[in-house]
Amino acid sequence: MRGHWAFYRRPFASVTEMDRQMIDRWNSVIGSDDEVWYLGDFAIRQRPDRVASLVKALHGRKHLITGNNDDAAVKGCDGWESIQAYAEVSVDGMHLVLCHYPFRTWRNMSKGWVNLHGHSHGRLEAAAASV
């Protein structure tokens, strides 16, 4: 494969196959009433109608934490329950700080709050423990 698609080295024969598998995998574990916080970069350079069809195909009540690649087509999609750059939520007693970008420090981290993020693509080096 050549061009933009080859750059990402995805293990799929086509974008259509990739989308179908990702939607099927998502829907196999997410129910229609489940709440989902998507941590950014939902779709890169896609038409608004394509973004809307992808969001609609996915189960759940979806919230978008915006990423650096989420353009007007993604942010303008009416399939999101909410859209913001940052959120603090509690799930089963666990406090979460949600942002597309990783933090070295965050509010209440010393009280057990957890930062969930995207963006680093598995390349973020671990921070040295502070004393």
Question: Which of these, 69, 59, 47, 75, lies nearest to 23 by C-alpha position?
Answer: 59
Predicted confidence (pLDDT) at residue 3 exceeds the cutoff of 50: no
Share of the chain above pLDDT 90, in %: 76
Tell me the pTM. Answer: 0.84
Predicted confidence (pLDDT) at residue 1 exceeds the cutoff of 70: no
Predicted confidence (pLDDT) at residue 113 exceeds the cutoff of 70: yes
Predicted confidence (pLDDT) at residue 7 exceeds the cutoff of 60: no
Q: 29 or 15, which is more confident?
A: 29
120: tokens are 């680093």
pLDDT at site 131 = 37
With H, G, I as helix, E, B as strand and everything else as coil, classify residue 16: helix
Which pLDDT tens digit goes with each residue over 24-70?
A: 999 999 999 999 999 999 998 999 999 999 999 999 999 999 999 99
Mean pLDDT of 92-108: 95
Q: 116 or 9, which is more confident?
A: 116
Reduced DSSP (H G I as helix, E B as strand, rest coil) percent helix, strand, coil of the chain, to 5: 30, 20, 50
